[in-house]
Structure 1
Amino acid sequence: MRVDEEITFRKLEILLEFMEAGTLARAADRLGISTVSVHRALHSLEASLRCALFRQEGRNLHPTEAAHALADVARDLLQTLSHGIRATREVAGYGADRIRIGSLYSLTIEAVPKLVVGMKVRKPELETELVLGSNLDLLRKLRDGSVDAALMALPEGAPDVESEPLFQDAIHFAAPAGSRYAGMAEIDLGACVDERFVSLTEGFATYDGFVDAFRVAGFTPNVVMKTGDIFSLMNLVSGGLGCTLLPGRVRDVFSQKVQLIPLQPKYLMRQTIGLNFLRTRERDPNLLALLAVCRASRADLG
C-alpha cells in the first residue's frame, strides 16, 4: 500500500499537538503557526485518508475514534523516526558522545594535548579519540568518516573541506648536534649537494616542503632512507645517518641530539597548520566546540 504524499510528518506533528492542546488556537500557539495553518493541515489529513477525523460542534473540532487511532500510530512513528535520526547521526559522528581527532605526529608534542584539555573543560562528557597519520592519510580519513576533524597542514584544492588556520611554521635544516653545521646562523641548501639526507615518505606536509626546498636549490638530494613518522626521522638524524628538513615545532624534542638551523630566505618554506573538517559537518555541536577551543587557544599553539 502506497502512502498518500499529502500525509507528511509535519502534518502528523500538528495532529498530535492539536490532540494534546484541545483547541486550534492553543495548538497554533504552541507550534508558532496560525490557526488557519493548523486547520488546513488537519483537513488535509482527512482528505488524504478519505475518512472523517473530526466532527464540527459550533466553532470547535472534536476528534473521532479514527483521529485517536491515527494519533497513536503517529506518536510511535515520530518516536521511531527520532531514534533513527539520532542513531544515524551517531554513526556519522554527528553529536555523538565521542570525537575522533586526526593529527600529524608532530602536533602531539604541544598542540594536541592543549586542545584535548580544552575540550575536557568545555565538554567533560565527551570522549576524545586520537588518530595519527600523514596529511594525505588524514584527508582521506576525513572524507571517509574515519575521523571527525583533522589537525594538519591546510589542504589545497579541497572545496569540500572547511579549514580554520591556527599557526604557521617554517621549515628548518636539521643536523646532528655537533655537526659541521653547528655554528652556522643559516644554511645555504645549494651548498649541501654532497650531503646525505633522510626524509619522510610522500603524503606528509613536511615531505612536500622538503621537495620544494630542493627544487629551489636546483638539485635532487641523496636520500639514503625514508620513514613514516617524524620522530623516527629525528632518530635517524641524531644517529648520524643523514640531515633533513624539519618544522620548527619539533625543535625541543631531541634538542640535545638534533639541531635545527634556519634556511636562507630563498629556501624558506612555511606550513599553515589548522583544524579541518568537512563542510557538511559544519553544524555538528562537537566540531563547533572543538573549533571554539582552537580559536581560544590559537595564541598558545604556534
Structure 2
Amino acid sequence: MLGIDADCAIEWMAMDLRQLQTLLVVAEVGSLKKAALRLRIVETALSRQIRLLEEELRTPLFERHGRGLTPTEAGRRMIERARPILADLDQLRSEMLSRRNAVAGRVAIGLPWLLLDTLSSRLATGFIPRYPAVNIRLVGGVSNQLRRMLQSGDLDLALFFDVEPAPDPQLKPLFSERMLLVGSRACGYRLDRPLPFTHLAKVPLALPEVEEPFRAHLEALARERKLSLDVRFEVGALQALRALAMNGLAQVFASLHAVRADLEVGLLTA
C-alpha cells in the first residue's frame, strides 16, 4: 500500500456494503464455517475477507477462540452502526420499488473507464428490474471529459473522480477511498505495510490518461519531491490494468473496492 502524508492523501470510495453484510452474518452465527455456508462462499475466502477488513481498519473486529468468533469492542461498534445503515437501505429499496412504475424515459450515464467494468453490470442488474421502462445509455470516459459532457447536457448524470471537491452546486461528493499501489503476487505488498512515496520512482507504472485528475495530482506530488515517474502505459480500463499488474508488466493504482477479489485470492498484492 502506498503511504502518502495526510495533507495529500488521495481518497476515493466508500466501504463496500458487502463487508457490512458479511460482518453482521459472522457476528450473528459466531462461526466462520456457519457464516460461509449462509453466504455461500468458501470458508478460506470468508476468513480472508475478515482479515482484509481488519487490516483496512487497523483494528481486530473479532476474538478467535475454540468456540468460534466473538466481536471485540470495535467489532460491536461496527455492528451497531452497520445494522441501521443496512435497514435504511432496505427501506429505500422498498420505497423505490413501489414507485418504479411511475418512472419512464431515457437516461445517459457517464462512468470513468476505471469503474466501467465493475459498475456497469451492477447498475444494470440493480436498476432495470426496478425501472423497466427506463432505457440506459452508458458512456465511458476520463473524468474531465465526463465533466464537460455533463455540463453540456450530453449526459444526465455522471460519476467521476476528483482530488478536491468542486464548487459547482450540481456536483456532489459521493464517497472517498485511498488509492492503492497494486502489483503482482511477486511484489509482496501488504495493506499493513505502507510504502514511501519515493517507491513510485523505482517501479514501472501504468497510469490513466493525463486528463484524469488523479494522474495530474500524482505527477504534481512527484514534481514537488523532484521524482521522475516511469510511466510505461497509459490505461484507463480496469481489466487492462489488472492484466498488466498480474503479469508483472507494470504496477497500477486502484481502489480497494476495485481489486478486493484479486487480493483475497492472492492474484494481486497492494
Q: TM-score, normalised by structure 2?
A: 0.51
RMSD: 3.1
Match of 1:172 in 2: 180
Residues 232 and 213 of structure 1: CA distance in aligned 2, closer, same or farther (over 3 Å): farther
Q: Is the 8 A contact 2:179 2:253 kept in 1?
A: yes
Residues 140 and 147 of structure 1: CA distance in aligned 2, closer, same or farther (over 3 Å): same
Deviation for aligned residue 1:216: 5.6
Residues 182 and 200 of structure 1: CA distance in aligned 2, closer, same or farther (over 3 Å): same
Counterpart Cα distance in 2 of 1:222 and 1:208: 15
Does 2:234 correspond to 1:226? yes
Counterpart Cα distance in 1 of 2:165 and 2:181: 28
Counterpart Cα distance in 2 of 1:143 and 1:96: 23
Counterpart Cα distance in 1 of 2:232 and 2:239: 17
Q: Secondary structure of the equivalent of 2:146?
A: helix
Match of 2:267 in 1: 257
Question: Deviations for 1:32-79, whole angstroms, at most 9, x for unmatched residues?
Answer: xxxxxxxxxxxxxxxxxxxxxxxxxxxxxxxxxxxxxxxxxxxxxxxx
Counterpart Cα distance in 2 of 1:164 and 1:117: 24
- The aligned runs of 1:78-97 (5 Å cut-off) are 97=105
Give ranges in structure 2 of 5+ residues lacking alignment.
1-102
Instruction: For CA contacts below 8 A with separation 6 or more, give which structure has more relative contact order.
Output: 2
Does 2:128 correspond to 1:120? yes
- The aligned runs of 1:1-302 (5 Å cut-off) are 97-108=105-116, 110-154=118-162, 162-181=170-189, 185-215=193-223, 217-252=225-260, 254-255=262-263, 256-260=266-270
Q: Secondary structure of the equivalent of 1:178?
A: helix
Counterpart Cα distance in 1 of 2:252 and 2:225: 14
Give ranges in structure 1 of 5+ residues lacking alignment.
1-94, 261-302
Residues 145 and 210 of structure 1: CA distance in aligned 2, closer, same or farther (over 3 Å): same
Question: Deviations for 1:69-109, whole angstroms, at most 9, x for unmatched residues?
Answer: xxxxxxxxxxxxxxxxxxxxxxxxxx971101001133345
Q: Is the 8 A contact 1:98 1:129 kept in 2?
A: yes
Deviation for aligned residue 1:174: 1.3
Aligned residue type for 2:178: A
Deviation for aligned residue 1:193: 3.1
Aligned residue type for 2:269: Q
Q: Is the 8 A contact 1:154 1:165 kept in 2?
A: no
Q: Secondary structure of the equivalent of 1:225?
A: strand
Question: Deviations for 1:264-298, whole angstroms, at most 9, x for unmatched residues?
Answer: xxxxxxxxxxxxxxxxxxxxxxxxxxxxxxxxxxx
Question: Deviations for 1:131-152, whole angstroms, at most 9, x for unmatched residues?
Answer: 1111012112212332111011
What is the number of equivalent residue pairs in this alignment? 166
